[in-house]
Amino acid sequence: MADATPTEPTAADDVPADDAPADLAPADDAPTSSTADDAEVPDQAATEAEAGVAAPPTPARPRRRGLVAAIVVIGIVVVLGVAAVIAETVARAQAQSLIAGEVRSALQLEADHPVDVAIAGPPVLWQAAGGRFERITVDVPELAIGDLRGNLTLIAEGTPLDTAQPTDAVQAVFEVAEADVAALAGLLSGAVATDVRLDDREIRFETGFDVFGVPFTIGIGLTPTVEEGQLAFTPSSVVLGDERLDAEQLQQQFGDIVAPLLASQRVCVAQYLPQALALTAVQVGDEQLLVVFQGADVALSGPEFSTLGTCS
C-alpha cells in the first residue's frame, strides 16, 4: 500500500482569523446609515470666520429712512408755519397802526386817544398781495361831536394798500347813549331838560316854564330827521299834565311863551367830521341815538378825509 503524502498548508490556513479582511467582518460590526445622518454639519458662517472671510454688510432698513425723511419734512413745515404767523402778525400790526394814525389825524384827536382797528377777511399778507383790504372796521370811543359824545364806528370797504388811493365805500355810525342825549335836549329846548329818555322813536324829556309866576311842567317829544345835511329835531308830541296836545293847541293856550319849546331846531355835525362823509340818516333806538354818515371813493390819506366839513 502506498505511503500517504503530507499535504502542504494553504495560504488561507496561514492567515489568522483576526486579520481577516474587513469585508469578511461580521455584519454586526458594519456602520449603520443612522450614524452617518447624525454627523455634525459644519456652520458656514463659522467656517468663513475661521477662514478670515468678512461677513457681508447688513443693508439699512427702508422704514428707518422713511421715518427720518418724515421728521425732516414736518420740521420744515413747522418752521415755515411759525415764520408765516410771525410775518402775518407784523404785517397786521403795521397796517392797523397806519390806519389808526390816519383816523386820528382826520378827526383831530390826541395821539393817545384810543382807536381800535380790525381788518376782516383773508390774512393781511394775502390781501396786501392783492393790493387792497376787503373790510376795515375802526372804533373810536368817547368821541365828542359838538355837544354830543358817543362812540364812532367807521367801516371801509375795498381799501387800497396805498391809502392815497380812493376806498370803494366808507360808512360811519355815531352812537349816542340815552344818558348823553340830555345835553342835546337841553340845547334844543332852550331850558333845563329833565327825565330825558329815548322812547317810541322820539327823544322825550320834561321841561318847565312860568306863566305869570305859575309854574308849568310839560313833556315834549322830538323826532330827529336829516335836513340839508344837518340834524333837525322837530316837536312831535306834547304832554301837559295828563293831557296830550299837539304843538298848535299848546301855543294857542300859552302863546309865545312856549314858542321856543315848539320850534324845530337844527344841529350841524359836519364841522366835526371829514368832509368826505355826508350825513344820511338818524334814528332813535331803544337805548341810543344813531347818526349815520356815508362816503364813496374816499382816500383815507387824501384831503377830502383830512379836511373837516361845513354846514351851509
pLDDT tens track for 251-286? 777 777 777 777 788 888 888 888 899 999 999 987
Higher pLDDT pick, 39 / 75: 75
- The pLDDT score that the predictor gives to residue 44 is 52
C-alpha distances (whole Å) from 185 to each of 93, 193, 231 are 41, 6, 13
Most distant CA pair in the chain: distance in Å?
A: 212
Per-residue pLDDT at 82 exceeds 70: yes
Per-residue pLDDT at 144 exceeds 70: yes
Find all residues with CB under 8 Å of 168, minimum gap 6, and list them. 157, 158, 159, 296, 297
Contact of 204 with 194, CB cutoff 8 Å = no
- The pLDDT score that the predictor gives to residue 21 is 46
Highest mean pLDDT of the ranges 78-92, 228-242, 258-272, 275-289:
275-289
Distance CA 104, CA 111 (A): 7
Ramachandran quadrant class, 185 (left: phi over 0; alpha: psi -120 to 50; beta: rest)? alpha
For the record, the C-alpha cell of 44 comes out as: 458656514
Gap between the terminal Cα atoms of the chain: 191
Q: What angle do CA 52, 56, 62 make, to 5 degrees?
A: 160
Q: Is 209 exposed, middle or buried (0-12, 13-18, 19+ CB in 10 A)?
A: middle
Q: What angle do CA 300, 121, 293 make, to 5 degrees?
A: 40
Task: Dump strand ranges (E) for 103-242.
Answer: 116-120, 132-145, 148-160, 167-177, 194-199, 202-211, 214-227, 230-240
Average pLDDT over residues 229-245: 84
* CA neighbor of 230 nearest in space, from 293, 153, 144: 293
- The pLDDT score that the predictor gives to residue 158 is 92
Give the other-Cβ count within 10 Å of 181's Cβ: 24
Question: Which residue type is seen at 258?
Answer: V
For the record, the C-alpha cell of 180 comes out as: 348823553
Average pLDDT over residues 79-90: 75
Please tell me whether residue 96 adopts helix, strand or coil conformation.
helix
